[in-house]
């Protein structure tokens, strides 16, 4: 006789509901139910998941480069492909921190200045949080138009960074103009007509402003690039995630904005990132 435990039952229900990673999801839901008895019961969480709610909204967090990132309902769930953007940005922030420290030693002008990092269109602030955790000496800022995202990102960054709410660069302190060394952006880039083709977890649960990139998907990217040039430091860098198909359009608009552009792709992460250097 085969004995079924609670876990088997959950796995079967999740699998029947179409969850591809039913085993892993069941383990996470069981752990969440055991971790916090004040929160929803296992039965409530499984029912929510079966009805289609994204796992991260039920758990309240997503794993991103070994960090547990708080995710509030409606706020864009950080995608695993965005690890590529975070890793490239991290490489750049570390290199820049070394540069400023060497320059300060050579000129004997006192302590090195802080490296300034900005995550524009930050959502949960997952990328900014990775950067702040890895390079504590960096001054980290983030911004988003969605107050729920801003609240979530500030929770993730805590005292390690400051998050602003508003349209692109508008809410940022003026003293950051011309001072940003590394500007990282995963702005919405889904062409409006393609939103209807997205999986229900995105289409029905994530805010439309987090997805909609306008008719050809690059409307927000274009605004980011054209404003970025006023906020980047000399030799500062904009790193922008895009799709493989849109990469030529994104590259063209970044060049028009006055940046020297390189296209970087990763088969491992199935991701494309454009870097644009000022000057």
Q: Determine if 78 is a binding residue for ligand SAM (CB under 6 A).
A: yes
- Where does this chain touch ligand SAM (CB under 6 A) — which range of 117-125, 154-162, 173-181, 231-239? 117-125
* Cα 112 from Cα 103, distance rounded (Å): 8
For residue 46, what are the CA distances in angstroms to 6, 14, 49?
Answer: 12, 8, 5
Q: Which residues, 231 to 260, sit near ligand SAM by CB under 6 A?
A: none
Shortest approach of ligand SAM to residue 122 CB, angstroms?
5
- Residue 67's DSSP bridge partners are 64
Please give the Cα distance from 180 to 178 (Å, whole number).
Answer: 6
Closer residue to ligand SAM, CB minimum distance, 8 or 167: 167
Q: CA angle, 18 as apex, 17 and 24 as ends, to 5°?
A: 95
Give the nearest distance from C-beta 127 to ligand SAM in angstroms: 6
Nearer to ligand SAM, 46 or 191 (CB): 191
In the complex, what is the shortest distance from the CB of residue 85 to ligand SAM, in angstroms, rounded to a whole number?
7
Choice from 14, 30, 59, 82 touching ligand SAM (CB under 6 A): 82
Interaction mask 119-148, ligand SAM, x per CB under 6 A: --xxxx-x----------------xxxx--
Closest approach of Cβ 168 to ligand SAM, in Å? 4
**Cβ at position 123, least distance to ligand SAM in Å:** 3
Kindly state the smallest distance separating residue 274's Cβ from ligand SAM, in Å: 15
Q: What angle do CA 179, 185, 187 make, to 5 degrees?
A: 135
Which parts of this chain interact with ligand SAM (CB under 6 A)?
76, 78, 82, 121-124, 126, 143-146, 149, 167-168, 186-188, 209-210, 220
């Amino acid at each position: 006789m085969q004995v079924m435990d609670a876990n088997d039952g959950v796995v079967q229900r999740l699998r029947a509901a179409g969850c591809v990673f039913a085993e892993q999801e069941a383990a996470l839901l069981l752990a969440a139910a055991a971790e916090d008895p004040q929160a929803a019961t296992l039965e409530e969480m499984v029912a929510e998941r079966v009805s289609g709610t994204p796992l991260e909204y039920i758990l309240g967090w997503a794993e991103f480069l070994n960090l547990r990132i708080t995710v509030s309902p409606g706020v864009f769930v950080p995608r695993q492909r965005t690890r590529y953007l975070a890793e490239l940005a991290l490489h750049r922030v570390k290199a820049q921190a070394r540069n400023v420290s060497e320059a300060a030693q050579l000129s004997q002008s006192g302590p090195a200045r802080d490296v300034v990092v900005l995550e524009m269109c930050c959502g949960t602030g997952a990328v900014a949080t990775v950067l702040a955790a890895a390079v504590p000496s960096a001054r980290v800022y983030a911004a988003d138009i969605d107050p729920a995202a801003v609240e979530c990102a500030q929770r993730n960054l805590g005292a390690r960074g400051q998050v602003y709410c508003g349209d692109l660069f508008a809410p940022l302190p003026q003293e950051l103009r011309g001072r940003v060394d590394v500007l990282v952006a995963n702005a919405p880039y889904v062409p409006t007509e393609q939103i209807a083709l997205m999986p229900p977890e995105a289409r029905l649960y994530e805010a439309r402003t987090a997805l909609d990139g306008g008719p050809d998907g690059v409307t927000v990217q274009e605004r980011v690039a054209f404003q970025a040039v006023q906020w980047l430091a000399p030799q500062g860098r904009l790193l922008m995630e895009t799709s493989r198909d849109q990469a030529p359009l994104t590259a063209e608009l970044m060049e028009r904005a006055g940046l020297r552009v390189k296209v970087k792709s990763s088969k491992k992460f199935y991701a494309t990132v454009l870097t644009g250097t000022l000057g």
